[in-house]
Structure 1
């Protein structure tokens, strides 16, 4: 089938308020903006960030699945999940043959004058979702890394304090 054949695309719905409802409850900043009493609280924050990353990944997978349906599957581009060496996942545009990657691939496709306007608009919605999800993943992954780093530093500080605390005070 020719990608320019008029096919009514399925409306993009992966990022509805319902999709974010579970994330909204877990991702409160009030848990971040408080005095942390020890490494355990920071490890808990890191764990919550990891759980949110997993939920974001599921949203990304839903977007990739929708972008893999006709008529988008007939185009020369793909929206794919890419794992990074740091352990997070991002959405990337790639050519069908995987020879090129990035927003330039999307720009080339969307500027194709033969592309039906409705498909162009849906590709725009996919791109906006990709940008937002990548931002969210980046922020949450950074929070995870920072929380883990701080937990390690707190544990080290606590260990050093114990090392230099006189034996008499240790029994109190």
Structure 2
């Protein structure tokens, strides 16, 4: 029995090759001594995060084209986040409310096939990981932005004091 997976098989390999995530993390934990360096890293992390999010339409479309797509549950891209990012969420098709309860009901209902239930469990685990990864990158971006702003203020204060 093939269990459906949410994340495309080569997504992480392709992201690592295209965006050098490991290198970005090394730079993040390396010496950052100027606002310019921080802003450069911020932009690189934004591009990597947006690269992950760019996979969402394919992920959502692939789900819709499976047996899971016949359930009263919809996986969608939620861009209404206060963090300014995009996350994958479940929506209950029957009442257009949050789909978490509907997801729980389907997974615990033995009248659904094991294949459907196991696929939903796998999809949910992968959805949680993707959302966590995007959230962490978004948080890093926010911290980098705040750090760059503070460094710029320090530089301005120092330069202003030189003219006294």
Shorter-chain TM-score bucket reads: 0.7 to 0.9
Give yes or no for contact 2:73–2:90 (8 Å, CA) kept in 1: yes
More deviation, 137-146/53-62: 53-62
CA–CA separation in structure 2 for the residues paired with 1:21 and 1:151: 30
Give yes or no for contact 2:49–2:137 (8 Å, CA) kept in 1: yes
Aligned to 1:20: 12
The count of residues paired between Structure 1 and Structure 2 equals 159
**For each residue in 1:72-94, what CA deviation from the matched residue of structure 2 results, as whole angstroms up to 9, or x when unmatched?**
22111111110113210111111
Asked if 1:160 is matched to 2:152, the reply is no
Per the TM alignment, residue 58 of structure 1 is displaced from its structure 2 partner at its CA by 2.2
Higher helix share: 2
Judging changes above 3 Å, is the alpha-carbon distance between structure 1 residues 146 and 98 closer, same or farther for their aligned structure 2 residues?
A: farther
Structure 2 length as normaliser, TM-score?
Answer: 0.87
Aligned to 1:92: 89
**For each residue in 1:58-105, what CA deviation from the matched residue of structure 2 results, as whole angstroms up to 9, or x when unmatched?**
233332122211322211111111011321011111101453215323
Structure 2: runs of 5+ lacking an equivalent: none
* Aligned-CA RMSD value: 2.1
Per the TM alignment, residue 10 of structure 1 is displaced from its structure 2 partner at its CA by 7.9
Judging changes above 3 Å, is the alpha-carbon distance between structure 1 residues 10 and 111 closer, same or farther for their aligned structure 2 residues?
A: closer
Structure 1: runs of 5+ lacking an equivalent: 1-7, 168-172
Larger Rg, first or second structure (1 or 2): 1
CA–CA separation in structure 1 for the residues paired with 2:117 and 2:154: 55
